[in-house]
Amino acid sequence: MASIVKTIELLIYEPIFNVESDSFEDACPYRSRERGRSLYTCRCKAGTEISNIPQYRSHINSSCHKNYIENYSFFKKEVIEEKEFNKKLKYSNEILTRKLNKKSEEYNVLESNHNKLESNHNKLAIAFKKYCDKSKKQNTKFFNILNDIIQEDD
């Protein structure tokens, strides 16, 4: 027999901000006679799950939830600040990553230029050594000829 597995999506209940009263208020997430309702959890107390309107009404009347709503801006303040801080960190991380990539590209170009210059330097050093060796041989021949001429004159 095949078993049926149903995944339950657990949503977080969030109160709505009322601009006129400058406070947070409860708003029922369910409509009357709605089918296939989502399961909500409230952060006021661990393990609180709401799946229908009567449970919702019972929950919002609890003292724990009322205290949570009264101090919601205080509880949410840390979360909002952390989210803003995370945004700033992500932004700075992206900036630094881009700078690092740019510097890495510059480094690769400089390294290739350095390798080209080093190979040119090695070629020139070999050519210069050959030239010096050739010059020494010619100089020695020239000095030998001069010495021979000087000795013949004496």
Question: Token digits for 2?
Answer: 């095949």
Our count of domains for the chain comes to: 1
Q: What is the pLDDT of residues 59-76, one digit of tens each?
A: 999 999 999 888 888 878
pTM for this model (two decimals):
0.49
Contact partners, residue 60, CB within 8 Å, separation at least 6 = 26, 66, 69
Sign of CA dihedral 78, 84, 86, 88: negative
3-class DSSP state of 31:
coil
Strand (E) or helix (H) holding 49: strand 49-50
Q: What is the pLDDT of residues 47-106, one digit of tens each?
A: 889 989 999 999 999 999 999 888 888 878 788 788 889 999 999 999 999 999 999 999
Backbone φ, ψ for residue 11 (5° rounding): -95, 155
Question: Is residue 12 assigned to a domain?
Answer: yes
Range of the domain at 32: 7-70
CB of 14 within 8 A of CB of 42? no
Question: Is residue 15 assigned to a domain?
Answer: yes
Q: What is the pLDDT of residues 95-148, one digit of tens each?
A: 999 999 999 999 999 999 999 999 999 999 999 888 888 888 887 887 788 787
